Every structure is written in C-alpha cells, then in structure tokens.
Amino acid sequence: MSINRSKSGCAKSAGAGTLKAGVVAAVLGIACQQLAPAAARALAGSASANADRFALITFTDHNGNATTLAEFRGKAVVVIFGYADCPDLCSTTLTEMGQAMRLLGTDASRVQVVFVTLDPRRDARTLLAQIVPAFDPDFLGLFGDAAQTAQAAHEFEVFYKERPGSTPDSYSVDHTAGSFVLDPRGQLRLFLHYGM
C-alpha cells in the first residue's frame, strides 16, 4: 500500500494503520480531515471509564523500570495485551500501530503505545526489550507477575487462557485481540478490534 501525505502530514490512503492513526488523532484532538470521518465513527461508539481504574496498575517496563499508566498522563495511551510467541495477532497489531505512529508524524510524540504481556512466565524483560521496540523504538513492553497480569486483565476486561501444547513450554495463550485507547486524562475512550 502506498501512502501519500498532504501538507498536514495526514495520510490519504486507507488501511488498518491509517484508521488507527485517525482514531488516535481524534482522541488527541488533532485536526486531520482525511482521517476524521473514520475516527469519528469509531469514537461515536466509545464510552469513558474511571481513569483511576487503570492508573494504579503497576508494571515493570522492558528497561527494568517500575511504571504505571498514570505516568503517561498528558499523552494518549494505546494498550495492547498479548504475548511474544503469539503466532499472528500480536505482531500484526504492533505492526499496524507502528504504521499509525509513522502516519501521525510529529504528533506521534503525544502517544505512548504499551504492549502488556499475558505470558509473564516466558516473556522476560530481555525478550520484551528485543521484540517490542523493533516495531517502534518508543513502544514499551510491560510485564508483571501472575497477580499483576491478572489484575490488569481484570481491569481492562481482557480474556486470556493458556492452551496446552505438545510440551510444557510450548503452550499458546488465547486472548482478547485488540487495542485499548486511553485519552490524555487516562480515560478509556475506545477499543479497536483486531484488524480495524
């Protein structure tokens, strides 16, 4: 897919990355005529939630720093749940978000994308540090212990369940597929379904 940019830096072509960029731009309040109609339709069905519900969940980022989502207040935050060995959904979503960030141009600095692992047993900090920034250097991989992972999944209403593999370490993780977009005040504004 070729991307043409207008003088404003907004993309003129359609695609999942373009739609995601439009939705994030709309949450940020960035004027972008080419992306506004799709973003407006996505936002029309959104509901806001209590920002404190998400702010206090503690994670460790792939750099080894303790963090909460409250630390990103002032930016839109895109939260993606998944796991490093996910065969398709997670890498596709991260690729599309990387494209969306490039389409946002300088406004990408107003967005923080975080990938929260649902597989803390296998997704060590060093693995997340290799994988997550490969999609965009500003993306952060977040992890916690089993209890922190369960709390985060509960607060975001994310389903996840290990599915046994042929060996104890070859299991897969069934999980909710999509991205949660929080506005700069930390309120959940919408859920982007996988492939949107």
Q: Is 96 inside a domain boundary? A: yes
Place of tokens 């060590």: 124
Per-residue model confidence as pLDDT tens for the chain (196 residues): 333 333 334 433 445 555 555 656 555 554 333 333 444 444 444 444 456 677 778 899 999 999 999 999 999 999 999 888 877 767 888 888 999 899 999 999 999 999 998 989 989 999 999 999 999 999 999 999 999 999 988 888 888 888 888 888 888 887 777 888 888 988 888 888 766 5
What is the CB-side half-sphere exposure of residue 26 using CA atoms within 13 A? 22
Number of domains in the chain: 1
Q: Is 149 inside a domain boundary? A: yes
We report the CATH number of the domain holding residue 159 as 3.40.30.10
Q: Is 126 inside a domain boundary? A: yes
Report yes or no on whether pTM surpasses 0.85. Answer: no
Burial (CB count within 10 angstroms: exposed 0-12, middle 13-18, buried 19+), residue 66: exposed
Q: State both tokens at 108.
A: 């990408």
Q: Please give the pLDDT value at position 140.
A: 97
Q: Is 15 inside a domain boundary? A: no
Q: Is 10 inside a domain boundary? A: no
3-state SS of the chain is CCCCECCCCCECCCCHHHHHHHHHHHHHCCCCCCCHHHHHHHHHCCCCCCCHHHHCCEEEECCCCEEEHHHHCCCEEEEEEECCCCCCHHHHHHHHHHHHHHHHHHHHHHEEEEEEECCCCCCCHHHHHHHHHHCCCCCEEEECCHHHHHHHHHHHCCCEEEECCCCCCCCEEEECCEEEEECCCCCEEEEEECCC
Strands 58-61 and 140-143: antiparallel
Q: Is 1 inside a domain boundary? A: no
Structural domain that includes position 134: 47-193
Q: Is 12 inside a domain boundary? A: no
Q: Fill in the amino acid letter for 108.
A: A
Q: Is 95 inside a domain boundary? A: yes
Q: Please give the pLDDT value at position 163.
A: 85
